[in-house]
Amino acid sequence: DTAVSQTPKYLVTQMGNDKSIKCEQNLGHDTMYWYKQDSKKFLKIMFSYNNKELIINETVPNRFSPKSPDKAHLNLHINSLELGDSAVYFCASSPTTTGLAKNIQYFGAGTRLSVL
C-alpha cells in the first residue's frame, strides 16, 4: 500500500537511449512533481502537474517530457540520454487544499539513473 511508487528503482543505460520512469500515487492528491537530485544532493524541481495540467516547467532540456494520463499518474520520458542525466529522480505528490497542507509533499523512493 505504498503511497507514491516509482518504477524502476534502478535504471542503467547507454548514452543516446530513450527511457521512461513511471510514477503512481494512491493518496488522492491533485498535484504531482518530478525532481532531480544530482551527485551534490541538490534537489531541483523539474515539472509539476495539477489535475493533469502542467503548472511548473523549469528550465529542463526538451529531451525530458512528462506525461500525466490521469491525476494519479505522472510519467517521465527522457530521449537521447546524456551522461549528465545520471542522477536520482524523485516523484512526489501533494494535496490541493488551502493552508500549509497544500505544499506538503510525499515522495516516492526514487529512481537511480546511471547513463554510461
Partner 1 sequence: RKEVEQDPGPFNVPEGATVAFNCTYSNSASQSFFWYRQDCRKEPKLLMSVYSSGNEDGRFTAQLNRASQYISLLIRDSKLSDSATYLCVVEPNTGGFKTIFGAGTRLFVKA
Report if residue 102 touches partner 1, rule: CB under 8 A. Answer: yes
Taken in order 18, 11, 55, 67, is the CA torsion positive or negative? positive
Q: Could you tell me which of 37, 13, 32 has the C-alpha nearest to residue 114?
A: 13
- Residue 94 contacts partner 1 per CB under 8 A: yes
**DSSP string covering 14-43:** -TT--EEEEEEE-S--SEEEEEEE-TT--E
- When asked if residue 54 is in the footprint of partner 1 (CB under 8 A), the reply is no
Applying CB under 8 A, does 60 fall inside the site for partner 1? no
Total residues at interface with partner 1 (CB under 8 A): 25
Which one of 17-25, 62-70, 76-84, 102-110 is the stretch in contact with partner 1 (CB under 8 A)?
102-110
Closest distance to partner 1 from the beta carbon of 41 (Å): 6
Q: Binding partner 1 by CB under 8 A: which of 50, 67, 72, 77?
A: 50
As a whole number of angstroms, the longest Cα–Cα distance in the chain is 44
Q: Is 86 in the site for partner 1 (CB under 8 A)?
A: no
Query: Measured between alpha carbons, how far is residue 48 from residues 13, 57, 69 in Å?
Result: 25, 7, 14
* Residues within the interface to partner 1 (CB under 8 A): 31, 33, 35, 40-45, 48, 50, 55-56, 90, 94, 100, 102-110
